[in-house]
Structures are given as structure tokens and as C-alpha cells.
Amino acid sequence: MSPRHPIALALLASLTLSIPRAFDAAAAAKPAKNEATKPAADDAQWKVDASHGPTHTISFQTDEATWLALDVSPDGSTIVFSLDGDLYTLPAAGGEATRITSGPAYDVQRRFSPDGSEIAFATDRGGTENLWVCDRTGAHARAVSTEKETRTTAVTAIASPTTTALLPVSRRRR
């Protein structure tokens, strides 16, 4: 790394210094070999949205994003986009974005339904990536597909002017 890239060098140094601390903390959290390591009853079915250890909530504001994928409602009034795994809506005329999904689940690949009343999106809320739908406010979210295998690499919905429904599409690894 040349001195012409001080930010990249500082980032690399920061990561180099913080990674060993993260491994030390993980090792300290492990029980000793003679301690019982029996799983708790509530660990029987793993949930993406459940806390699986210490959590910290952070808050931030931004007025820009990169690699932003979006969809426009059929009436042209609203934009839906995903940022950091949450879905947001924004008036097409401009204004404030409203977060409509949140939490540990990774919500992406959003698409308005042909009538604009619902938003389809891919999420790992159920443990593996599947297609879900919610209304325009993020309420009434429900699974549309229920794939259990982790071979799925992408799930999305497609709509065309000639259909009245969203069609789930998934690609699988070979």
C-alpha cells in the first residue's frame, strides 16, 4: 500500500487492530470445557429476528447511498428502496424517506405489486432467503415462498403490465 492512500492504510490498520480483540472477546465468552454446554430449550428453533447474544442499537442519518436499487410504484408517486437491509419508501416528488421494515433480518430486492398496494421483497426472516410481501407501510408482512434449503442464491419477484400478481423467481446454485 503506497503512502498515496492514507485512508485505506488507516482502515487496514484499524481492522488489523480490532480483529484480534473480536476473537479474544469471542474466546472469553465460550464456556470452559468442563462447563455444561447443553443448548437452551428456546434455541431449538433458531429465529433470525431474535437476539442471540449482546446487542447494541445504533442510530445514524444519511442523505446519500451507493448501489441503491429501487422500484417506483405503478402510479409514479412512491419510490421503495433498500438500505442496510431495511426497506424505505420515499415520495417521488422528494421529501423524507420512511423506514417500513427494520430489525436483524436482511430485507432486499423490493418490488411493488402491479396495483401498487403491496411490496414484495426477499428476506431471511424465516432462516433462509424467501419472498415476502407487506403493505405500503410495511405492515402485514407474510411469507410467499417457504424454501427450506440454503441452495437458493437469489429470490425476487417480477411483475409485468399484463399480470395482476407478483411471480416469485429463485435461482439455485448447481
Mean predicted lDDT score pLDDT of the chain: 74
Fold of the domain spanning 70-172: Neuraminidase (2.120.10)
Which pLDDT belongs to residue 89?
97
Which pLDDT belongs to residue 35?
46
For residues 164, 69, 80, 141, the Cα torsion angle rounded to the nearest 10 degrees is: 70
Which pLDDT belongs to residue 130?
86
Higher pLDDT, 51 or 107: 107
Domain boundaries, the chain: 6-39, 70-172
Q: Which stretch of 78-92, 124-138, 146-160 has the lowest confidence by average pLDDT?
A: 146-160
1-15 confidence digits (pLDDT tens): 444 545 444 444 443
Higher pLDDT, 33 or 64: 64
Can you tell me the distance from the alpha carbon of 16 to that of 26, in angstroms, rounded to the nearest whole number?
16
- Strand blocks (E) in the chain: 70-72, 78-83, 86-91, 98-99, 108-112, 118-123, 130-135, 142-143, 152-158, 167-172
